[in-house]
Structure 1
Amino acid sequence: MKINPYNSVQQNPYRKQIEKTEKANDVQAKRDKLEISSEALSMQKRTKLEKERLEKIEAIKQKIDAGEYKVDSQAIANKFYDFWNQS
Structure 2
Amino acid sequence: MKINPYQSLSSSLYIQNKENASQDSKAENAQQKELSQRIANDSIDISKEAKIMQMSQTLDEDRTAKLEKLKEQIDQGTYDKDLLKTAQKMFDYWNPRGTDQ
- TM-score scaled by length of structure 1: 0.43
Q: Which has the larger radius of gyration?
A: 2
Structure 2 length as normaliser, TM-score? 0.38
Higher helix share: 2
